Structure formats: structure tokens, C-alpha cells
Amino acid sequence: MTKTKEIKIIEKDYLKELEKIKSTLSSNQAKAMVVVNSAIIMSYYEIGTIINQQKQWGNKFLTKLALYLKDYHGMSLANLKRMSLFTKNFSYDEISSQPVSQIPWGTI
């Protein structure tokens, strides 16, 4: 076998293996996103539950909470209100047992 043919065979095998690696990475990244997304949605549901248990008319609970959580990504006053509404509109069983946990938070 000539050196050129050997190089072509090696390149062909290399490209085939590279595609396998890329496919593995893509597949596992997608799986990881589903798990992370599910955990985030459950966290938002739990936060909404806590908010609904604590807020009362006029106690400024949400405003204070947003102020103290400002260093955490996504914990704005508007998002905290959404978490509260999210918890009011869905039961825990609906969230935990349905594929709704795989839906991006922005859609909910």
C-alpha cells in the first residue's frame, strides 16, 4: 500500500470516528438539557409555592424577595410573580408526572 492510500484510509477512519464523537456529544448535551430544564422548572414551582404561602396583601414580600435575590439570575420581580402564577395554575402532580417538565420555562 502506498503512503497516499494509507493517509486516505486514516483520514477516512478519523472522520468516521469524529462524526461518532460529535453525535455522542450532541445526544448527551440534549439529554443533559432535559434534566437541567426539569430541575429548574421544579425549582421555580417550589419558589412559587413558598411565595404563595408567604405573600399577603400589602406586606411587600415579593418586592423584598426580588431585592434580596437580585444577584441570582432570573429572580426579578416579574419572574417571581410568574413563579407565583405558575404554582397557582398547576398542581405538583401535573408538573412532576407530565412531560411539562421538559418544556422550556419561557413557554410556560
Q: Over 80: is that where the pLDDT of 8 sits?
A: no
For residues 75, 80, 82, 87, the Cα torsion angle rounded to the nearest 10 degrees is 120
φ and ψ of 40, to 5 deg: -65, -45
Residue 28 has pLDDT above 80, yes or no: yes
pLDDT confidence bin for 98, thresholds 50/70/90: low
- Other residues' Cβ atoms within 10 Å of the Cβ of residue 65: 18
Q: Residue 69: what pLDDT?
A: 94
pTM for this prediction: 0.67
